[in-house]
Amino acid sequence: MKLGLFSINMGVNAKPDRLAATAREAEDAGFDSVWAGEHVILPDPQVPPSPMAPGDPALDPLLGLAWAAAHTTQLKLATGIIILPQRNPVVLAKQLASLDVLSGGRVVFGVGVGYLEPEFRAIGANFGRRGAVTDEFLDAIETLWYDEHPAFHGEFASFEGVDAHPRPAQDRVPVIVGGHSPGAYRRAVRRGDGWYGFALNEENVAGCLDSLRGASDTVDRPARLQPLEITVTPRSRLTPERVAAFAALGVHRLVPMPRADADADGIRATIEEAASAVAGQ
């Protein structure tokens, strides 16, 4: 079982010294990755389904991961997730490629379609077509990364006669699709190297994996892709028994999340508890 740590860019980790220390502590404990979530803005006052209060600190995920990269040597740097339809795909392709080069090929590109309409409205992004935008933006980004002469013409993005270097350091940047909707399951099967489920218990994960298997009956998976890597942020604390249960379901990586109000000791306790649970299962 691999281990990642969620919220490397949030809460107390939004402070530079603490973010660096947390990343080093996770790496020293044998974690393979750190994960950065994204909300550009939050509704004020907080209203459902917003998961955070408007005053909760959250660094831009790519800047937070760049800071983590500068203070580690091996950790994978995962966006968990980038709200892709809120981004400009040409700019984002450059940002992610730059991070991959600066980190020596450690980027994991986790994407989702988002769900906070006030955030989309403030950014000027297309909330109603966000699934279609996400699929098109993934195509545009991959064209910029991998095609000798990038060109793309779609409904939401269009370019030709351009190029962008440096390309990513990795031959292929892993794409992880987050979400618990039918569209997310189909997207993961069709184009993802992995699937990411957030705040789930064992029963939830079993249902999601059933849905992924169902999606695989209706969507073709390219031959170049390996079997989906399954990553989950568990809803509650890990024990050896729970790690074993997740592993039996087919989960490959667990990404525990410290409490939102955790201080440095609380984050350290989350790291130590997860490492102990994996070692003891």
Write out the two tokens for 197.
């489920």
pLDDT digits (tens, 9 = 90+) for 39-92: 999 999 998 999 999 999 999 999 999 999 999 999 999 999 999 999 999 999
Write out the two tokens for 126.
């297309």
Write down the pTM of the prediction: 0.97
* Distance (Å, whole) CA 198 – CA 239: 18
Please list, in sequence order, all residues whose beta carbon lies within 8 angstroms of the beta carbon of residue 248, skipping any fewer than 6 positions away.
Answer: none
* Distance (Å, whole) CA 174 – CA 176: 6
pLDDT interval class at 281 (50, 70, 90)? confident
Dihedral, CA atoms, 21, 66, 107, 258, nearest 10 degrees?
A: 40
Identify the pLDDT of residue 53: 95
Portion of the chain with pLDDT greater than 70, in percent: 100
